[in-house]
A and B are shown apart, each in its own frame.
Chain A
Amino acid sequence: MSVPVPIRWALLLTVALISPVIATLFGSAGLSPETVLQCLAGQCPGATEDLIFYDIRLPRVLGALLAGGGLAIAGATLQNVTRNGLADPYLFGVVAGAGLGAAIVSVLPDYGLLPDGVSLPVAAFIGAWLSVLMVQGLAMSSWARTPEQLLLAGIAMSLMLGAATHMVLYIGEPFAANKVMFWLMGSLARIEQTHLWQIAIPLSIAVMVLWLVGRRFDAMMLGDRAASSLGVHAARMRLLGLMICATLTAVIVAHCGGIGFVGLMIPHIVRQWFGVTTRAVIVGSLLLGGLFLVWADVLARTLVSDQELPIGIITSAIGSVFFLLMMRQRA
């Protein structure tokens, strides 16, 4: 039996709103449902609970919600503008660029230019952005104009940056290599309240812009020629999509490290449930991506007792199985 689309939206919205509250219950220090409800009402039973709920658990859950939504939107946007359902920000060298930035700053001596703990995310952001600019530069050149060529250029760039990262880590000190490797595996443990705004603001702008130009992005699905004949500047729209994808991914990777497969998996499910138009995919990806990462992070916190798993391992494990199933479905 097929569930009508409006009911599916209502279900997704309800689950996306309730899940973050339930997710705050889980962690190394458990909070009871009563405590969570009291804390939500602004009346935490004690200072410890207040600290755990407001300073640790809530920022982390909200961070998962924003990062998941952002990564899913970045993936959906990239898939639209490259007309390839298998496109993912990771294929564009965004994470590899962030990794190189992080590696370089980790092996450099500390000049004290930036406060402790800030230089790595900043370097990661710059690295992610530069890698997208380089891929975009290739796309503007005469030998990577089609979406397929753009994807291949991204993969080549990703491999090149990965090699450079390994080189930097090889000649650097072993401790730095450990630090970068752990960061690349992805974790929401470092998210603080101030970081939430740094993700929320670009994410809100991206959702707004994509919603407004949604119909033009839809025309891009028919190919550049068809889009142009409908008055849509295909190259400009693709640039806009790439910039949105790069900014979202860079800011999320900078704070959370490498969290793979969300951008590939979530938009695919959303298209099957809510249709393929840009507006439906953007809103659906925002909700479902957030929801997915909230629960993936609960697994990361609880799967192994007294220890936390990097969330990137969990999303990649789920994502790679999903990817194989998708390939089987297409075959």
Chain B
Amino acid sequence: MYTEPGLETEHLSLSIQDVPLLKNISFTLPRGQVLGILGPNGAGKTTLLKQLAGETTRNASLSGAVYWQEDNVRQIPLQEKARRIAFVNQLNDSVFALTLFQVVRMGLLPHQPLFAMPVKDDDRKVLAALQRVGLKEKSRQTFSTLSGGEQQRGLIARAMLQRASLLLLDEPVNHLDVFYQHDILGLLRTLSQEQNLTAVMSLHDLNLAAAYCDQLLILDDGSLQAFGAPREILSESLLERVFGLPCLVRHEEHGTRVDFCPSPISAPQPGGPE
């Protein structure tokens, strides 16, 4: 069966001043899938995302390559790259009080020539994207005064205007309450299904990752520990090795559950006495 070319990394390694941050990472993700990158703090999740975006890192020695739809991301011209790959960083902050509308409108930039006149249609597109993420009423509000969840949804609306086929998100549900965690990940899931969008994001919550991602990539100390569907790769031995904590993994009919047990395991053993 033919699958559309997606995201591919080939022996990606990166070190800064002889300290290795990523070690020989190779994986292939078909287009239209959602990938969650998991791992303890300092495992290299954000570094990997930046490399997937083709960002340059100062004083870094790099080997290997990242391909998006068969093009080396480092060789795609900047503006074209912004039309194909959108990167939602951890919250953007501006010294000047930009409104949500103005921040989201920047998503049109990759499709505009250098000297672009304002077009009435731009406003309509921005408002449609804001409506899609449920923020149309707040369009005139100063971006920095929005809640964390609203800012994330605003940045996703901006990424939608970029019309990129690959969306990279650095900890999109960090600092969000349970409602917004599901809200954001549900939105990404829907966009992925409706628009054949590929989304790659770093996450901390294994249960959220297992619930919303098609594939998971487990990183530890810059090395790829496992890559595959949650049901296939999540195991107690792997997670205990990576996170240093005993845990229980249950693969159930409607999904996978992971429970970490910091003290000696007190939860009932599978198949144990009732």
Whether A216 lies near B109 (C-beta < 8 A) is yes
A189 proximal to B (CB < 8 A): no
Q: Chain A, interface size: which category?
A: 20 to 34
Which residues of chain B are near A84, meaning CB under 8 Å?
95
Whether A231 lies near B116 (C-beta < 8 A) is no
Residue picked from A213, A231, A232, most chain B C-beta under 10 Å: A231
Which residues of chain B are near A233, meaning CB under 8 Å?
78
Whether B89 lies near A215 (C-beta < 8 A) is no
Which residues of chain B are near A231, meaning CB under 8 Å?
78-83, 109-110
Which residues of chain A are near B162, meaning CB under 8 Å?
230
Q: B60-94: contact bitstring with A at CB < 8 Å (1 yes, 0 no)? A: 00000000000000000011111100110100111
Whether A215 lies near B115 (C-beta < 8 A) is no
Which residues of chain A are near B116, meaning CB under 8 Å?
212, 215
Interfacial residues of chain A within 225-281, with CB under 8 A of chain B in the complex: 225-226, 228-233, 271, 275-277, 279
Whether B102 lies near A226 (C-beta < 8 A) is no
A221 proximal to B (CB < 8 A): yes
Q: Which residue of B lies closest to A220 (CB)?
A: B94
A83 proximal to B (CB < 8 A): yes
Q: In the docked arrangement, what's the CA distance between A222 and B94, Å?
A: 5
Q: In the docked arrangement, what's the CA distance between A104 and B99, Å?
A: 48
Q: Chain B, interface size: which category?
A: 20 to 34
Q: In the docked arrangement, what's the CA distance between A226 and B109, Å?
A: 12
Q: In the docked arrangement, what's the CA distance between A215 and B87, Å?
A: 19
Tell me whether A228 and B55 are in contact in the complex, defined as CB-CB below 8 angstroms, given that A215-B106, A219-B109, A233-B78 are known contacts: yes
Interface set of A (CB-CB < 8 Å, partner B)? 83-85, 212-213, 215-216, 218-219, 221-223, 225-226, 228-233, 271, 275-277, 279
Whether A276 lies near B96 (C-beta < 8 A) is yes
Which residues of chain A are near B117, meaning CB under 8 Å?
212
Q: Give 6 closest A-B pairs by Cβ, nearest first.
A: A231-B82, A231-B79, A212-B115, A276-B96, A231-B110, A229-B87
The contact of A230 among B96, B107, B114, B115, by CB within 8 Å, is B107
Which residues of chain A are near B92, meaning CB under 8 Å?
222-223, 226
B38 proximal to A (CB < 8 A): no
Q: In the docked arrangement, what's the CA distance between A277 and B99, Å?
A: 9
The contact of B94 among A215, A216, A221, A230, by CB within 8 Å, is A221
Q: In the docked arrangement, what's the CA distance between A278 and B97, Å?
A: 12
Whether B109 lies near A215 (C-beta < 8 A) is yes
B245 proximal to A (CB < 8 A): no
In the complex, 6 of the A-B residue pairs with CB atoms within 8 angstroms, ordered by the A residue number, are A215-B109, A229-B87, A229-B89, A231-B81, A276-B102, A279-B118
